[in-house]
Chain A
Amino acid sequence: MQSVDTERSATETDKIVATGVHRVFGGTGERVHALGPVDLAISDGEFVCIVGPSGCGKSTFLRMVAGLIGPSDGTIEFTTHRSGQSTSMVFQEYSIFPWKRVIDNARYGLDVAGVSKKEGNRRAMEYLGKLGLAERAKSWPDTLSGGMKQRVAIARALAVEPEILLMDEPFAALDAQMRQILQEELLELWQADRRTVLFITHSLDEAILLGDRVLVMSSRPGRIIADIRVPFERPRSNTIRTSHEFTELTSELWELLRVEVDDESAGTV
């Protein structure tokens, strides 16, 4: 079920290609084979969701795509077309800087890219506004709630308008309403300019609602055990949740994951 997809038109170029990617942690002591082998091709403008059991290497894979850590083996290639920043990432844990006010956090990527402060502020405010944080622009992060901090991190990643957006369970800390609002916001932003998105989630609903494709990963060492194309038309809205196909797809994914989690708890690597 991997990679090559017959429906894909020939004009579309592959944006990210991973071949034989592994990652092993630990040097001299205990070694952990976190991930691999992973082979994968993602086309330009695709919204790809990744699901898999906890600890299977999803965050590790994203960090490799972002270039924060290198693969232990194999290659990850991607092509970019603009001069600006190619990837930006929303991290699983809070990663905004406590010593910068909300707006300065949101502007961070623009600052280091040398964008003027005026233009930077304008763009940071634009995204803070979209995420409902315009009022708190001058606040210190320590005075925000967990979900608000996460929204600042999302604004910071979006403000640089990257070609590839990497999101590691970005909505996990949010309440159901905010989650739904942000899902719709993200879909809208994505539909407007079709960036390539890699989106990790534990919520199968979320994966199906947002993704063009859902990749299912095995338990550690993570491999891609299924690559499922989501059949729903775009633009999508939350109403698809009630459809028959949606339920069917969810249970299909659920079954795949259940096997993996069982495997793991049985001690099979």
Chain B
Amino acid sequence: MSITDQDSAVRTERRTPSAADRDPARFLRRRRISDVVLAVGFPVVMLTLWQIAATSGWIDRRFYPAPTDIVGEIRRTFQDNPKGNWWVDIGISVQRMLWGYGWGVLFGLFFGVTMGMFRTLRVTLEPTLNALYTVPKLALIGIFLIVLGFDDKPLIAVIGVTVFFFVWMQSMVAVMTVPDQLQEAARSFESSRFQLFRHVIFPSALPQIFLGLRVSAGVAVLTLIGVEFVYSPGLRGIGYRINNARTVLDPLQAYVGLLVAATLGVVFVTVIKVVGRLLTPWSSNDRTVL
């Protein structure tokens, strides 16, 4: 509809399909390519700038080694050598982390789900858990050492306790916020309490629970490295080696360690994300590159 007016120019508006509307398949294909280019391109550009800065002497290469230096260091030290084999440390660290994460998730889910479902339990435990939540977990290492002995167990316990609180809180809230409308729909079919849980409460909470699992996967890596800085049985582990590099003034090794820790984190978080996506196919997921 256009209104003709002496003062204003005649205007017509048209709605036309965009290229994406015309051929959505082609659009999605191209967008996927551009997604990958952007996601991979950004770090590549940053690394290149870093490389140029280091080799041209804009930054002090002894403290900020060029990416190629780090790659060379990785090549040297990922095999047996006087500095020790990285693979062994990675293996040991991953094991500690998985045990800690596993226990944390197990207890976190159990307490989160049951406390979400049963009010009495929630009322009883929540204030205490909230209080414990704010205790710095790293400070517990001393107590765990005395109670659990001088092996991997105290380390695993610290990771587990840290992960526990993240999983517990997220899953409790997820279970509590299941829409009443959906619960009533299930109850109208005379579902038992367990059936209600299995068919409605749990699936409804699952996407949010996985968010908690993802966040705590990252937290598990952080805690692992942090604890290994102060306590690392057998003088093995990624965190130990990063810290050791500092004491022996070997920044290249520290950079390798950081790279290893970052890679471990990315891989672990991505695995949890992908598992979550497979288990919650109904929820619209953010599918950028991975």
Contacts and interface: CB of A to CB of B under 8 A. Distances in A.
Interface residues of A, number: 28
Nearest to A110: B189
Interface in A71-95: 85, 87-89, 91, 93-95
A68 B184 contact: yes
A29 B77 CA distance: 69
A97 B185 contact: yes
Contacts of B282: 98-100, 140-142
Closest A-B pairs by Cβ, 10 of them: A95-B185, A109-B189, A99-B203, A89-B188, A99-B282, A112-B191, A112-B195, A68-B184, A98-B282, A140-B282
Contacts of B192: 112
A184 to B, nearest CB: 25
Task: Give the secondary structure class of A's interface.
Answer: loop
Interface in B250-285: 280-284
Given A85-B190, A89-B188, A98-B283, 7 more contacts: A63-B184, A89-B185, A95-B182, A99-B282, A108-B189, A113-B190, A141-B282
Task: Give the secondary structure class of B's interface.
Answer: helix
A95 B184 contact: yes
Given A91-B184, A93-B181, A95-B181, A85 B189 contact: yes
A98 B181 CA distance: 12
B8 to A, nearest CB: 39
A63 B191 CA distance: 15
B83 interface: no
B218 to A, nearest CB: 26
A108 B182 CA distance: 12
Contact of B284 (A97, A113, A142): A142
B186 interface: yes
Nearest to B192: A112
Interface in B152-179: none
